[in-house]
Chain A
Amino acid sequence: MNRLAGLLLALAIPAVAGQIPLSERRSGYELMRQDTRNLQDDDTANPGMLWVAEGKDLWSAKPDSASRACADCHGDASVSMKGVAARYPVFSASAGRPIDLEQRINACRTRQQHASPFAFESRELLALTAYIARQSRGMPIDVGSDPRLEPFLAAGREEFERRRGQLNLACTQCHDDNWGKHLGGSVIPQGHPTGYPIYRLEWQGVGSLQRRLRGCISGVRSEPYAYGAPELVNLELFLMWRARGMPLETPAVRP
């Protein structure tokens, strides 16, 4: 009789009730082994710092002799870019929708530097994003409070909670309801994008949040959205809002 009551109760709880209370949020950092945490914490050993170093060079490089370098307008990145990555995605008036940091960098490339945009997941774009985001390391994520973002935040939440793919899984089922448990040999994190672009041991390189999302989406045997797709940016927006207040760790190391 008790088992039946328990089963009925379990079925009655709606999926949305699985949201993690703010105080119980944990970065993926806390679920890693000590060795990997040490690797992230050591700037002289963290492989992500190689991309940050390359980004620093790109910051001062002119796309061609006639164009300006990032530094020509923005000066010292440790000053001008402080806090920037912790606020992205933001609402772009010209786009009429949210854009992420990669899209913002490319908007600058085309409009201000009159240069061609970097391809998504290109070495240059990852390096520049990593360098800029590194300037916000330690700062609390502050995304989503702009009222213009409301419909996109709702769309992102819907992406997170909707079942998809042959495995018919929604992000929330693993990352809200079963975080901390194991999927195969891996511990399921809560899925907060606290350190992007990350150096992922599985990739043996640095990659963006969109790359990780596409990986997860294809992992449940669903066709992933293209890089830069509005669905992915909406999801990024929702995930950063879900992680609001948590400190940015870029460049993070993750398994």
Chain B
Amino acid sequence: MATALIHVPASAKRGEIIQIKALISHVMEPGYRRTSLGAVIPRDILRRFVCTYNGEEIFRAEMYPAIAANPYFAFNTIASDSGTFEFTWSGDNGFSKRETVAIKVE
């Protein structure tokens, strides 16, 4: 059960560029590490992060094992209308998580 922490300003002026920060707990096991007995620890990473704003994709990240554990992204978007941001993470072993945050734009 992964935990996600998202920061979106609660309100913004129309046309203002806002910064969004998204942090999720995930081990991002790269698939190169070995146990003390020499067995490879299989890869288990998040592969994709998508942010939509009122249904339209505004940011997408494709991730590889080189993204640090507990992946973090900060990106920008233009505040256009009040509504909802939807954040989706997906990855190995069928991982999927979705969070939504509302914003008021005036």
Residues of A within 8 A of B (CB): 44-45, 47, 49-51, 53-54, 204-205
Give the size category of B's interface with A. 10 to 19
A56 to chain B, nearest CB (A): 10
Q: Interface of B with A (CB < 8 Å)?
A: 3, 5, 7, 21, 23-25, 27-28, 68-70, 72, 74
Question: Are B21 and A45 touching (Cβ within 8 A)?
Answer: yes
Per the bound structure, the CA–CA distance linking A204 and B28 in Å amounts to: 9
Q: A50-B25, A53-B3 are in contact. List 16 more A-B contacts (CB 8 A).
A: A45-B72, A45-B74, A47-B23, A47-B69, A47-B72, A49-B23, A50-B3, A50-B5, A50-B23, A50-B24, A50-B70, A53-B5, A54-B3, A204-B27, A204-B68, A205-B69
Would you list the 5 A-B pairs with minimal beta carbon distance, nearest first?
A204-B69, A44-B7, A47-B70, A50-B25, A44-B21
- B68 adjacent to A44 (CB under 8 Å): no
Asked whether, in the complex, the Cβ of B70 is within 8 Å of the Cβ of A204, the reply is yes
B23 to A45, Cβ gap below 8 A? yes
Q: How far is the CA of A45 from the CA of B74 in the complex (A)?
A: 9
Q: Which residue of A lies closest to B68 (CB)?
A: A204
Chain B contacts for A51, CB-based, 8 A:
25
When distances are taken between beta carbons in the complex, the residues of chain B under 8 Å from A54 are 3, 25
The 12 listed contacts between A and B (C-beta, < 8 Å) are: A44-B21, A44-B23, A45-B72, A47-B69, A49-B23, A50-B24, A51-B25, A53-B3, A53-B5, A204-B27, A204-B69, A205-B69
What residues of B have a CB within 8 angstroms of the CB of A204 in the complex?
Answer: 27-28, 68-70
